[in-house]
Amino acid sequence: MNFSKQAVRLGALLILAATVRAQDLKYIEYDTDLISGQVYQARRDKLMEKIGNDAIAIFYANPVRNRNADLEYFYAQNSDFFYLTGFREPNSILVLIPRGTLVRNPSDSTKMITAHEMLFVQERDPISEKWNGRRYGPEGAMQLRGLEYAAANDKFKTMLPSIFWGAGAKFLYVPPFRSDLAGELAELLQPLKSSIEQMQQWHASIETRDPTPLVRKMRVVKSPEEIAMLTKATEISAVAHRQAMMSVEPGMGEYELEAVYEYVFHKMGAEYNGYPCIVASGENSVILHYDTNRRKIKDGDLVLADCAAEYHGYSSDVTRTYPANGKFSKPQREIYQLVLDAQKAAIAAMKPEVSWQELSKIASNTIMEGLFKLGIIKEKTPKELSRFYYHGLGHAVGLNVHDVGQSTMEAGMLYTVEPGVYIAEGSEGVDPAYYNIGVRIEDVILVTAEGNKNLSLSAPREIAAIEALMKQKGVGNLPIQ
């Protein structure tokens, strides 16, 4: 459709005439269960205590990434930045100054205050907000996200020298600059990059350090607020798996089952998938990260579905495997049971001070013994096992679906336990009855002082429970009118 230049100008004038004032589009937080600003404040205080009064730290948001033409990818905030601020908007910069520095009082410009933290954010813009939604602005960032001091991000450049020298810092903590920095964020950070380059060139007394390891260490053990978010994300994921089991029918497209998962996620309040949904049937069940989801599901197929929700920034990760026709065949049942036995054995041993290596060994030995008894492997060796079980036992979950973790279990950590067996068609020395059987069972486990708690247990894992549930109909069986 073509428009004349006059029509475009007239449209722009009408938009300007109809534009409301920025304050009339005041930012609204509709969700009532967000992590409070006080929690983020405590995290920033803890980090400032770690780096000491002789340091400052600067963190920045993720860049906006172009998908195609004038369309951007869905924006996802940098996890470390979000952990410290709870702030989702792009083009933002956080500065932490343990010793403090003098700035003008944002509520009374005639007075000065000592600020220990500064968040530089996008300014309120009534025209942009009318097109693209409300912004926090500096005032909203302080009121709603609990920041001590916030300013428009175009002030970062002018305030940077006083931040450096006014704080009397000996150490500058800043994450390495990403190679894909572009657009407005790259422009905002250019003065910082130039300052660091000059300091290095002049051998300045300020030493540059990477704060990432410090923040990642803080993120390993989850707070009660984070556990609540991950519990919610996992409960939503478990309900979606139940509905998918009830809905699946031979003849469906894998994408139809994917739609069931995503419908339940959104229906129950999750903003996004934690990752691209894997709905792998038949020969696709032996592909670990298959996500094409276009095949027609056939009678006799196993469906391996690795799908989970992200809730308020926290991602779960749950996998279930079930028969398309509601009944496991004998070979499917045998492989499924040995994977389940391996998972249950590893979870039973999961508690504080147990090493991840020990848990992995328990699962691997169980699977190896099971495959040997079935004649699928001829020798009980790691090499033979790796033909059919070739990934790790699991990983931490949190702000990332593959989150930061450590080698020894500790109360407050959340890990997936997800052993699997994948027997591709044509596997040497294997009875063809086992071809195209891929089984993975994955649950989110909270390590507690007493042992552990399975957060995704409401999605059935036992064969009898799965088959019983699949006799019911789910939301995916409703016709679209």
Provide the annotated active-site residues: 70, 289, 306, 317, 391, 395, 402, 418, 422, 440, 442
Give the integer Cα–Cα distance in Å for 225 and 202: 45
- How many other β-carbons are positioned within 10 Å of the β-carbon of residue 391? 14
Beta bridge partners of 422: 438
Give the integer Cα–Cα distance in Å for 157 and 154: 7
- Any residues with CB less than 8 A from the CB of 185 and at least 6 apart, and which? 60, 61, 63, 64, 90, 91
Give the integer Cα–Cα distance in Å for 86 and 25: 21
Alpha-carbon distances of 394 from 321, 365, 442, 471, rounded to whole Å? 16, 16, 8, 31
What are the structure tokens assigned to 428, written together?
A: 């040497």
Q: Could you give the dihedral angle defined by the CA atoms of residues 441, 442, 448 and 450, in that order, rounded to the nearest 10 degrees? A: 0
Alpha-carbon distances of 76 from 61, 152, 312, 314, 416, rounded to whole Å? 9, 21, 11, 12, 23
Residue 233: exposure state from Cβ atoms within 10 A (0-12, 13-18, ≥19)? buried
What are the structure tokens assigned to 168, written together?
A: 């009397």
